[in-house]
Structure 1
Amino acid sequence: MNRTLNFAHRGFRSRYPENTMLAFSKAADLGVDGIEFDVHLSSDGVPVIIHDETLDRTSSASGLVKDFSFDELKKINAAAKFKSAEPLNGTVPLNEKIPSLEDYFDFIKNKDIISNIELKTGVFEYPGIEEKVYALLKKYNLQDKCIISSFNHESVLRMKKINSSLVCGFLVDSWDLHPAAYLKKYGVECYHPPAYRLTKEFVDELHNEGFKVNAWFGSIQTDYSQVLITGLDSIITDYPDKIADLL
């Protein structure tokens, strides 16, 4: 059985401001196998990395991401609302920019790290986002070092249509029954369920059909060791340091 891979959810977000270059660089320093992050489009069509459709929860601004140009987004403090879950060594810089996808790719291009790119097309579809993300993947030659995922499965299939060899995953927040048939129908390689849904039998069923299971943790952290014994392929958490210790 292959080793479970350790993915940092929105970067090392339990200790650093989520989806910022600081959180990504600290995750890389830790030696993670992958980094998961979220992509929207600015009003002028630039792929940017932030989780919510709105700026309010994490930044110094308010409003919809899609209503701001990239130049405007660059002036916003993405770390303004950050509070660490654990004591920090030293202080977190008070100002972190909202990164563009290109900023991230330029940072990650020579690192042995898989990028799990979540297309945040569940509320706003951002027409053309798939082509823009793929153009940057191609520019940085990262097509073979990424997983494309989304809760909008049509968005995933649009990426598959652009390049069928891209590794993709259907994100779900449900207890689907026998998802292997669904994955097989649409030619998607990975299933991304919430970690609390996993059992060894469920993971084995997907593995037996040739699919990978990359599970994510949201705000509720269940027992990591119990999740790891299911034999899943990747675990996506806010605490990549704790997963590193367990692995």
Structure 2
Amino acid sequence: MSIEPQVAALAHRGFSLDGHENTLRAFRAAADLGFVWVETDVNTTSDGVVLAFHDPTLDRVTNTSGDISDVPWSDLDDVRIGGTEPLSTLGELLRALPEQHFNIDVKDESSVEALPQVIADEGAVDRVRVTSFSENRRRRALASIERLTGKRPLTSAGTVGAAGLTILSKIARVTDRTSPKIATVIWSAMTKLWASKVAEFDTVQLPVTYDLSLPGGFKLPVSVVNQKFVEVAHRLGIAVHVWTINDAPEMRRLLDLGVDGLVTDRGDILAQVLADRGQWPPRSASSRV
């Protein structure tokens, strides 16, 4: 009997139909569904405590307001997400959920310094993937983690790397008619050119389409994740994760396309889609995914 390839299923900020994102309850709910990987973000308080929290401010999801970077952790005891759930530090989550793997998006400058120490203190380098839209933050955070632990965690590309791979996939539509090796040569040249600014990555995490801003406020949707993109990424040994996919037909379409992972708010739906395909529960937190 053949075994279906493993898919990285990532519970986006945990799993909570009530919108209690990035809470211990949401992450435990994802674990209860069978998720090995959960996705979170980090912002850091004024006294250096790393929180699992997406926004730079408390305004959107809590019962108070203000910038996280302006407040010490001791002043956040009474803050509740959705009015009921306390804030969680990343260290608390790593200790409370020792079997979970965390895909961590570095959102602010303070976390570049604070996050690596948490990962080192908790001995968690082998169960995290570190990323950031800011290539500068991602590169420096990775360097600090490696300096503190002697290891480099899994990492997905920042904006520069993802854009470079997207452009290459467009070029490959033409060059592959002559030889698939041409795109590989171009990629080698690109990565050498940006080597001092862009840290190596094993994964790209990106949306299906990207809205390109044009003069006059117009938006042009640009296809990112398509058959050629996935093919080129795999040719280069790079895994493709797509966010944030919440409906079953789109999940199935992307899985049929060959993507390696899906990030979702609807862990219940993704678990069922993968179960129907014989790909649930996950067998392991494979380094490939």
Shift of 1:117: 0.7
Amino acid at match of 1:216: W
Q: Counterpart in 2 of 1:35?
A: 38
After TM superposition, the score normalised by the length of structure 2 is 0.71
For each residue in 1:120-175, what CA deviation from the matched residue of structure 2 results, as whole angstroms up to 9, or x when unmatched?
A: 13xxx22xx23422222222222111100110111111123221622111244979
Q: Residues 9 and 41 (structure 1 numbering): CA distance in 2 closer, same or farther, change over 3 Å?
A: same
Q: Distance in 1 between matches of 2:247 and 2:139?
A: 29
Q: Distance in 2 between matches of 1:166 and 1:98?
A: 25
Q: Counterpart in 2 of 1:23?
A: 26
CA contact (8 A) 1:38 1:49 kept: yes
Q: Identity over aligned residues, as a percent?
A: 26
Alignment equivalent of 1:166, drawn from 149, 153, 162: 153
Residues matched between the structures, number: 226
2:109 aligned with 1:96? no
Q: Distance in 2 between matches of 1:244 and 1:201?
A: 27
Q: Residues 205 and 229 (structure 1 numbering): CA distance in 2 closer, same or farther, change over 3 Å?
A: same
Amino acid at match of 2:88: P
Alignment equivalent of 2:260, drawn from 208, 221, 233: 233
Query: What stretches of structure 1 of length at least 5 have no aligned partner?
Result: 81-94
Q: Residues 239 and 44 (structure 1 numbering): CA distance in 2 closer, same or farther, change over 3 Å?
A: same
Residue pairs, 1:168-247, within 5 angstroms: 168-172=155-159, 176-178=166-168, 181=187, 185=195, 186-196=199-209, 197-217=224-244, 223-247=250-274
SS in 1 for 2:114: helix
Shift of 1:73: 1.9
Q: Distance in 1 between matches of 2:75 and 2:168?
A: 45
Q: Counterpart in 2 of 1:84?
A: none
Query: What stretches of structure 2 of length at least 5 have no aligned partner?
Result: 170-183, 210-223, 275-289
Q: Residues 62 and 44 (structure 1 numbering): CA distance in 2 closer, same or farther, change over 3 Å?
A: same
Q: Counterpart in 2 of 1:45?
A: 48
SS in 1 for 2:152: coil
Q: Residues 72 and 219 (structure 1 numbering): CA distance in 2 closer, same or farther, change over 3 Å?
A: farther
For each residue in 1:170-221, what CA deviation from the matched residue of structure 2 results, as whole angstroms up to 9, or x when unmatched?
A: 2449793127836674312211111343112211211110111122117899
SS in 2 for 1:205: helix
CA contact (8 A) 1:13 1:19 kept: no
Alignment equivalent of 1:12, drawn from 12, 15, 24: 15
SS in 2 for 1:223: helix
Q: Residues 46 and 4 (structure 1 numbering): CA distance in 2 closer, same or farther, change over 3 Å?
A: same
Shift of 1:225: 1.1
Relative to total residues, which structure has the larger helix share, 1 or 2?
Answer: 2
SS in 2 for 1:176: helix
After TM superposition, the score normalised by the length of structure 1 is 0.83
Q: Counterpart in 1 of 2:279?
A: none
2:146 aligned with 1:155? no
SS in 1 for 2:257: coil
Shift of 1:237: 0.6
Alignment equivalent of 2:105, drawn from 118, 123, 131: 118
2:57 aligned with 1:54? yes
RMSD: 2.5
Alignment equivalent of 2:72, drawn from 53, 69, 73: 69
Q: Residues 236 and 22 (structure 1 numbering): CA distance in 2 closer, same or farther, change over 3 Å?
A: same
CA contact (8 A) 1:4 1:231 kept: no
SS in 1 for 2:272: helix
Amino acid at match of 1:96: E
Q: Distance in 2 between matches of 1:222 and 1:71?
A: 45
Q: Distance in 2 between matches of 1:195 and 1:21?
A: 29
